[in-house]
A and B are shown apart, each in its own frame.
Chain A
């Protein structure tokens, strides 16, 4: 692997011990991945923020690294943590947990990483350009940046993302390269996929179909129409999140929809041997629906909601009040804007809560006493049973709102 004079200087400690450690990590990971060189990145998204996930040793690691004195040299921001920093007490999070979570945030801030605490930085001021190299770590955000924006990033881990932040670089391999972005499989869809849960179920199925493809599957999806704006963005968010969860997919192409597919058209499909078909979404729905009994919490906003998402949910509520708690996860940036325009208040009038800085996949749900959830997110429905031992109803946003209003999943014995 070639290092520039600047990169060698950083590795030798000329910019400080923290940056040297960072370059050491990147250099080793680069050699493992057969990267020829580093690439400079425009922004960094850091994962490994929830104290529930990283625990005491992860916190110690972050504090030790921060103590070396180096800070991010490019815009860098955090993935969701484990609790809403403002509403935690009212929502039932424990003070002890929140104290630890704040220590994690403080250590990352000391490294120069901003407490955005969101998986949708593109709804909160950071939208990479087509072709721009970034180093993002959250799987649904990586998928969105690569697929919907045409930017270039691998899926970084916590330490490698921090290393990228401290050096402004990441090893150039896989999704940073033209070769690595070529489709590995053509997926032809033969059913309709209108809704958010529908596209999540489809994403779950496609993720599984490509997960065995060498070097990480890159599906080229054809035969499916994306809905019009504004829900188009939500549809693409849900698709990417589901595929990333079930198949570790970091990049997908949708014929006639995504920028690289639109730019390179038939060229992308040329020579791709592996093919799959999606005839129906039954398999996805069957795998993702594990709910039983009364609904204890309805969780929307996975990935984090945009303003358009909040407006759409308010429309579905149509003035009805909820019996079961309805939490909509979003960034603090989106929540603040929703407060300013009265949108948050209208949602609260129905009993719906915008929850910021966290999400239900990384929050300590068991400590909140929860067992049965409902969601319209295939990603959440996929992770919640294994990560938190939850049983989860999975279906359309409309069914989820109905479940919040009645306390029972529509059509279930309850």
Chain B
């Protein structure tokens, strides 16, 4: 079966592969992710207690403090960053974070395209469902 590929808008152009970690609700970075652990923490959140390291993070948009951009930077420095990020609508906090941390990021995509643990490859603005 041929791979399906869908095209969105590249926020930070790069290539990365990984397994989907999906959230149907927004993700906050500051206050929810410790760069030293890469584990998401937010009571009641679907990703509470889950490690985002090396995953392709799929979520609608970001939320919270502008310091979130620096948390993404810290995650990359500590080796705990996601492999890539795929979003419906990228906000400036996640955009700036993706740019300074150099994490391949695409937005403008419908999240129903993706399933939990699915293998995907991000290449610029294109996401290939392997």
Contact = CB atoms under 8 A, between A and B. Distances in A.
A60 B72 CA distance: 12
A57 B77 contact: yes
Query: Interface range on chain A: under 10, 10 to 19, 20 to 34, or 35 or more?
Result: 10 to 19
B99 A25 contact: yes
B23 to A, nearest CB: 22
Contact of B70 (A24, A25, A29, A58): A58
Contact of A28 (B11, B69, B77): B11
Contact of B12 (A28, A48, A58): A28
Contacts of A61: 70, 73, 100
Identify the interface centre among A32, A56, A57, A160: most chain B CB within 10 Å of its CB.
A57
B92 A157 contact: yes
A394 B27 CA distance: 34
A57 B12 CA distance: 20
B74 A56 contact: yes
A32 B90 contact: yes
Interface of chain A, main secondary structure: helix
Contacts of B99: 24-25, 28-29, 159
Interface string A46-70: 0010000111111011000000000
Contacts of A57: 35, 70-71, 73-74, 77
A25 B100 contact: yes
A368 to B, nearest CB: 21
Contacts of B69: 157-159
Interface string A133-159: 000000000000000000000000111
Interface residues of B, number: 19
A25 B69 CA distance: 13
Contacts, number: 50
Interface in B1-60: 9, 11-12, 35
Contact of B77 (A32, A60, A159): A60
A60 B100 CA distance: 12
Nearest to B90: A32
* Among B9, B35, B69, B77, residue most surrounded by chain A Cβ atoms (within 10 Å): B69
Contact of B96 (A54, A55, A160): A160
B128 interface: no
A157 B67 contact: no
Nearest to B71: A57
B95 interface: yes
A54 B74 CA distance: 11
A55 B77 contact: no
A244 B123 CA distance: 38
Given A61-B100, A157-B92, A160-B96, A54 B67 contact: yes
Contacts of B67: 53-55, 58
Given A32-B90, A54-B67, A61-B73, 14 more contacts: A24-B99, A25-B96, A25-B100, A28-B99, A29-B92, A29-B95, A32-B9, A32-B11, A32-B95, A56-B74, A57-B74, A60-B77, A159-B99, A160-B96
Interface of A: 24-25, 28-29, 32, 48, 53-58, 60-61, 157-160
